């Protein structure tokens, strides 16, 4: 089992640790609900060092990424970040990633922990021209500082105005206590916040510095449990749930990140044909009306007919409701937005509600 | 971790309070702590019968659903409806938050339960 450099820090803080894609990660420190609310109302700090980083370098780096990604990075400037799915030829999703443009010919691709090896192999297999692909995951630890107080906390950490880093942009020349780092205004919670990439040897000290300053701003360490409920309320997709090798980005509601006007990219033909035939499935949000919680994989019925299944479901700490996201047939005949969710062999009533459940509080 | 001296305990971390041929069943402090924030409790109905080892209730934390097992056989004579509206009571006061009262079929089944000292040792072994 792999451990992040903060493993001992988590243990000392009383975290519950779980196996997450081969990593021992904190799922919670005190309470998922408390940690969730801290991020919504004040600030939370997450150890996300398990995320993978792949460096793409060389004269043909951009054209290679243009072929791999469904999104378009051709107009992206240095210092900016693009979110994109990566597709198989059949339109299924290999992974969804953030692409940081470090230089004209150098990009950092940030990947889901469980997908690093698969992504790396995929990149190597489709490498073309003068381009170097390197898995540099070992060189980076990562912290996420999220919540309405995140900017103030970082502003108090060093003499730098973090208001200057706009949404989906980054600065890579920040030095704190002699440690260089890359900081971006990104996150996976639906709140304003930052993600910090730093070498593993410096991350423990940075964690403690942020915790010290953050105390006055109500910061709490937050685990993967809160990370999941936060992203769920904001309807941010989770690989393996809302998108996967069997769920295309169009079905997963990510058409905004698929650029059909790009000359070519892997999966384009399949996705074009999905568009032409009509997308067969779509994601909907729902709220439980009967008492019960929908969980991933539960069946969804309309008029006694199976129309899909739940991709994510949870109690929502911010809204105090039991909510879910389901992948259902686009042509399903649904009356008045009424669904039934099969919870332990019982059919419970639910109704369709708009996604996201929680309006994202990004500062753009 | 709180353990009450006047209760009996199962290996699935349920506590049992014996009152004649009736027992109250709940989950222990250890159990609520490992589940995390409880947000939903599903209870059986009065009159339902269970064999020892059957699951009789479901507790949902933020993360997942967990079955709760009865260590003894019997018929449900009371349910704690308060838990349906205030599931967080399971976290806040696990030894007051009984789930059901069972009229037991066979008092000898109670012999297999642990007393508080045995349960304490059992928990320590689970942790190790």
Q: What are chain B's domains? A: 8-107 (2.40.50.100)
Rounded-to-integer distance, Cα A353 and Cα B91, Å: 30
pTM over 0.90: yes
ipTM: 0.90
Q: Could you give the residue range(s) of every CATH 2.40.30.110 domain in chain A?
A: 280-364
Q: Could you give the residue range(s) of every CATH 3.30.70.1400 domain in chain A?
A: 52-138
Whose tokens are 């019925």? That residue is: A301
State the DSSP H helix or E strand holding residue A43, giving kind and residue range, or none if neither: strand A43-47
One-character DSSP codes across A281-332: EEEEEEEESSS----TT-EEEETTEEEEEEEEEEEETTTTEEEEEEEEETT-
Residues A131/A60, Cβ–Cβ less than 8 Å: yes
Residues A316/A233, Cβ–Cβ less than 8 Å: yes
Q: Could you give the residue range(s) of every CATH 3.30.1360.120 domain in chain A?
A: 2-49+140-233
Which chain A residues touch B if contact means CB-CB below 8 Å?
Answer: 16, 27-28, 31-33, 225, 228-229, 291-293, 295, 314-315, 317, 322, 344
As a three-state string, the secondary structure of B52-111 is CCCEEEEEEECCCEEEEECCCCEEEEEECCHHHHCCCHHHHCCCCCCCEEEEECCHHHHH
One-character DSSP codes across A215-233: GGGTEEE--HHHHHHHHHH
- Give chain B positions within 8 Å (CB) of A344: 42, 58, 65
Average pLDDT for residues A81-101, to the nearest whole number? 98
Q: What is the CATH number of domain A52-138?
A: 3.30.70.1400
Contact A31 B36 (CB under 8 A): yes
Question: Nearest CB to B62: which of A225, A291, A344?
Answer: A225
Q: Determine the pLDDT at residue B126.
A: 86
Residue B46, both tokens: 């009065």
CA A45-A48-A54 angle, to 5 degrees, is 140
Q: What is the pLDDT of residues A26-76, one digit of tens each?
A: 999 999 999 999 999 999 999 999 999 999 999 999 999 999 999 999 999
Distances B25 to A114, A352, B34, B36, B60 between C-alpha atoms, Å: 40, 37, 18, 19, 17
CATH of A280-364, one of 3.30.1360.170, 3.40.50.1820, 2.60.200.20, 2.40.30.110: 2.40.30.110
Rounded-to-integer distance, Cα B36 and Cα B88, Å: 10
Chain B: residue whose CA lies nearest to A16: B34
Contact A33 B62 (CB under 8 A): yes
Please, which pLDDT band fits residue B48 given cuts at 50, 70 and 90?
Answer: very high
Contact A292 B40 (CB under 8 A): yes
Q: What is the pLDDT of residues B31-46, one digit of tens each?
A: 999 999 999 999 999 9
Distances A323 to A49, A152, A199 between C-alpha atoms, Å: 29, 32, 38
Q: Determine the pLDDT at residue B127.
A: 80
Rounded-to-integer distance, Cα B59 and Cα B80, Å: 13
Q: Give the CATH superfamily of A2-49+140-233.
A: Probable tRNA modification gtpase trme; domain 1 (3.30.1360.120)
Q: Determine the pLDDT at residue A177.
A: 87
Mean pLDDT, rounded, of chain A: 97
The answer to whether B64 faces chain A, any CB pair under 8 Å, is yes
Chain B: residue whose CA lies nearest to A34: B37
């Amino acid at each position: 089992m792999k451990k992040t450099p903060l493993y001992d820090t988590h243990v000392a803080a009383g975290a519950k640790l779980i196996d997450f894609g081969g990593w021992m990660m904190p799922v919670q420190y005190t309470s998922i609900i408390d940690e969730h609310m801290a991020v919504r109302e004040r600030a939370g700090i997450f150890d996300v060092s398990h995320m993978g980083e792949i460096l793409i370098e060389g004269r043909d780096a951009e054209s290679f990424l243009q072929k791999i990604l469904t999104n378009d990075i051709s107009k992206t400037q240095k210092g900016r970040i693009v979110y994109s799915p990566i597709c198989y030829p059949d339109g299924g999703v290999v992974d969804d990633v953030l692409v940081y443009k470090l230089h004209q010919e150098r990009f950092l691709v940030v990947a889901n922990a469980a997908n690093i090896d698969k992504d790396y192999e995929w990149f190597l297999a489709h490498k073309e021209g003068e381009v170097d692909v390197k898995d540099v995951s070992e060189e980076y630890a990562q912290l996420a500082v999220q919540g309405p107080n995140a900017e103030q906390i970082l502003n108090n950490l060093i003499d730098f105005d973090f208001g200057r880093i706009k949404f989906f942009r980054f600065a890579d020349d920040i030095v704190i206590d002699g440690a260089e780092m890359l900081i971006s205004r990104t996150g996976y919670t639906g709140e304003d916040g930052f993600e910090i990439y730093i070498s593993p040897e410096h991350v423990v000290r940075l964690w403690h510095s942020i915790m010290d300053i953050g105390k006055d701003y109500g910061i709490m360490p937050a685990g993967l449990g809160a990370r999941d409920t936060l992203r769920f309320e904001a309807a941010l997709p989770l690989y393996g749930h809302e998108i996967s090798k069997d769920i295309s980005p169009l079905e997963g509601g990510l058409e905004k990140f698929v650029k059909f006007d790009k000359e070519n990219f892997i999966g384009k033909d399949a996705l074009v044909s999905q568009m032409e035939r009509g997308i067969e499935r779509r994601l909907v949000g729902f709220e439980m009306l009967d008492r019960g919680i929908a969980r991933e994989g539960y069946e969804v019925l309309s008029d006694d007919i199976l129309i899909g299944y739940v991709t994510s479901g949870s109690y929502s700490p911010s809204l105090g409701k039991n909510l879910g996201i389901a992948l259902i047939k686009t042509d399903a005949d649904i009356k008045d937005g009424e669904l039934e969710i099969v919870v332990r062999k019982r059919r419970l009533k639910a109704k369709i509600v708009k996604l996201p459940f929680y309006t994202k509080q990004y500062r753009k | 971790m709180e353990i009450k001296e006047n209760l009996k305990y199962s290996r699935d971390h349920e506590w049992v309070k014996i009152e004649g041929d009736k027992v109250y069943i709940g989950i222990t402090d250890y159990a609520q702590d490992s589940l995390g924030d409880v947000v939903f409790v599903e209870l059986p109905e009065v009159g339902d019968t269970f064999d020892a080892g059957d699951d009789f209730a479901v507790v949902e934390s933020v993360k997942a659903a967990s079955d709760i097992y009865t260590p003894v056989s019997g018929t449900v004579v009371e349910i704690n409806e308060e838990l349906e509206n205030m599931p967080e009571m399971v976290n806040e006061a696990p030894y007051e938050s009984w789930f059901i009262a069972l009229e037991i079929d066979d008092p000898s089944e109670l012999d297999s339960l642990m007393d508080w000292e045995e349960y304490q040792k059992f928990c320590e072994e689970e942790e190790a």
